[in-house]
Amino acid sequence: MLTQVFIRLLLSAYISLIALQQTHAANILAIFPFPGPSQYICVQAYLKALAARGHEVTVISAFPQKKSLQNFRDISIAEVLDGYEETIVDVITEERNKWQELNLYYDFFTGGTLSVLKSAKVQELLQSNEHFDLIIVEAIQLDAIYALAHHYNALLIGVSTYGTDPTIDELVGNTSPISYVPLPLSQLSDRMNFWQRLQNLWHHLLHQMHMHLFYLPNQAAIHKQYFPNSTADIYAVRKNFSLVLLNQHFSISFPRPYVPNAIEVAGMHISQRAGKLPTDIANFIRDAKQGAIYFSLGSNVKSKNLSKEKLETLMRVFASLPYNILWKFEATELPNKPPNVYINKWFAQSDILAQPNVKLFISHAGLLSTTEAIHHAKPLVGMPVFFDQFLNMERIKRAGIGVFVDYKSFTYDELRSAIVEVMENPKYTQTIQQMSRRYHDQPMKPLDKAIFWTEYVLRHGGAPHMRVTAQELNFIQYHSLDTLLVLIGGAMLVLLMPSWFVYRNVRRLLLGDCGKTKLKHN
């Protein structure tokens, strides 16, 4: 046993060494400022893997490691967690139109930007003489922070925890044709009818307007405030990304175009080796004669804050089912808990889903959870709550790998029949198994891919040869407005000239002598 562990350690150290031979160990600063735990879970394995390969990694986030790790330093901004639960409750309960929604996220992202720059510990780091070769930043409306790349004269990599949208596209000059690529916050799929395409176009325009009228000027102002002497132009910095890693993959969403330095890495957070479960949980799953169910509404929605009616409905449904249910529930007490329900504040979700006897995942349809469900081929009952979860749910429904239940208004019958449908109708499991096979059929594991491209960028000084020239063109050039104008102008001239001659000759024929006679009379 011990020798095995020892050999494995030696082996992994050796593999890291040969891999690093070509790439110099870099000093990396990673900034993931948001209080939503899933956004950090998405990148944690990636950042740790970089450290394990010999890079010096410094991470600014709200989630410092509990145990210290080699080559890994945390700069905690845990203060951003204050008031976060209230924000989430507000996001979930308030109805908003598109513009208000954009404002909401704008406030949220501005808060995220400021929480980094205001932090005394971050300021201390900035004042120090420490140098970084590479900045890895959450690609989500944080331009004043992107500018740190300029501050350190470092390379810049973005990680998007959901996929791409118009703001992220601009970082690498990516194209998302609005006719078949829906905005992540819409509930549209890639196949849109006329009205849906109209809606997508309209929302796209609102998005662009909001971005250029409010978000970017605001980020420029924040940058000016915190770096009064900086010569960086945040509009130039945001076009200077070497790479964006996108938590997406065509096998779990839909195919779409990407520029060469936009790389899909969905699933990079999932460990390839399932961990061992605690004995009582393993037994609870194994003892379920007709299968076990895992139920979690994610890290943002707290089950303990569900209304009394919702809790009561959930328990009545669970009690009526012949399955064992693991429920991620954040309190220690659940009065009247049915005997076939096991509650815990936290479960090793991926390890649970890896169990063959777990047959169904009742989920908020967050992207990480959805990806884990597909990774482990477990069908879903989805209860989306906010942000991109509705879009994920739309894909789940379309793909036929799960059934939707309305979180806001579900009844006993709706929830129960959804669970029974997915448990007893084999088509959901079969479909997600097929999807899972497609997702796993890749030349590289997602995490290896993320590491490969990160080090590729380091090896090739930012890999400018991978960037499309779109980044050097202005709006008019990019959209070919100047050349179009010349072409259309030319076409009009060519068309109009003969018409003009025809018109002149016809006019002369008709009016010909008459005109002259008139003139004479005058």
Ligand X SMILES: *[C@@H]1O[C@H](CO)[C@@H](O)[C@H](O)[C@H]1NC(C)=O
- Smallest separation (angstroms) from ligand X to the CB of 99: 25
- Smallest separation (angstroms) from ligand X to the CB of 43: 22
Which residues 6+ apart lie within 8 Å of 436 measured at CB? Answer: 374, 375, 376, 377
Phi-psi region of 83 (alpha: psi -120 to 50; beta: other; left: phi over 0): left
Q: Output the CA torsion 217→221→226→228 (10° steps).
A: 110
Residues of the shown chain interacting with ligand X in the complex, contacts defined by CB under 6 A: 85-86, 89, 150, 155, 228-229, 236-237, 240, 304-305, 462
Matching residue, tokens 């009844």: 411
- Smallest separation (angstroms) from ligand X to the CB of 301: 10
- Strand duo 243-246 + 324-328: pairing: unpaired
Give whichever of 163 and 298 is closer to ligand X, judged by the CB atom.
298
Q: How far is CA 303 from CA 89, 156, 176, 314, 332, in A?
A: 12, 38, 37, 11, 11
Contact, 245 vs 452, CB < 8 A?
no
- Name the residue type at position 297: L
- Smallest separation (angstroms) from ligand X to the CB of 91: 11
Give whichever of 55 and 150 is closer to ligand X, judged by the CB atom.
150
Give whichever of 329 and 390 is closer to ligand X, judged by the CB atom.
329
Give whichever of 228 and 498 is closer to ligand X, judged by the CB atom.
228
- Which two three-digit tokens encode residue 426? 């084999």
Give whichever of 333 and 441 is closer to ligand X, judged by the CB atom.
333
- Smallest separation (angstroms) from ligand X to the CB of 474: 15
- Smallest separation (angstroms) from ligand X to the CB of 79: 17
Give whichever of 156 and 277 is closer to ligand X, judged by the CB atom.
156
- Which two three-digit tokens encode residue 404? 């939707």
Give whichever of 36 and 402 is closer to ligand X, judged by the CB atom.
36
- Smallest separation (angstroms) from ligand X to the CB of 319: 22
- Strand duo 155-160 + 56-61: pairing: unpaired
3-state SS class at 145: helix
By Cβ distance, which residue is nearest to ligand X? 462
Rounded to an integer, what distance in angstroms lies between the CA atom of residue 2 and that of residue 4? 5
- Smallest separation (angstroms) from ligand X to the CB of 428: 33
Give whichever of 418 and 457 is closer to ligand X, judged by the CB atom.
457
- Smallest separation (angstroms) from ligand X to the CB of 253: 30
Q: What is the 3-state secondary structure (H, E, C) of 349-407?
A: HHHHHCCCCEEEEEECCCHHHHHHHHHCCCCEEECCCCCCHHHHHHHHHHHCCEEECCC
Which residue spans within 12-170 are E strands per DSSP? 27-32, 56-61, 72-76, 134-138, 155-160
- Which two three-digit tokens encode residue 518? 């008139």
**Cross-strand partners of 245:** 159, 263
Give whichever of 57 and 155 is closer to ligand X, judged by the CB atom.
155
Give whichever of 242 and 389 is closer to ligand X, judged by the CB atom.
242
Q: Would you report the helix, strand and coil content of the chain in percent, each value rounded to 5?
A: 50, 10, 35
Q: How far is CA 398 from CA 58, 186, 403, 429, in A?
A: 41, 15, 10, 14
- Smallest separation (angstroms) from ligand X to the CB of 85: 4
Matching residue, tokens 């479909």: 431
Contact, 365 vs 383, CB < 8 A?
yes
- Smallest separation (angstroms) from ligand X to the CB of 463: 9
Give whichever of 150 and 249 is closer to ligand X, judged by the CB atom.
150
* H/E run at residue 479: none
Residue 231 — φ and ψ, nearest 5°? -95, 5
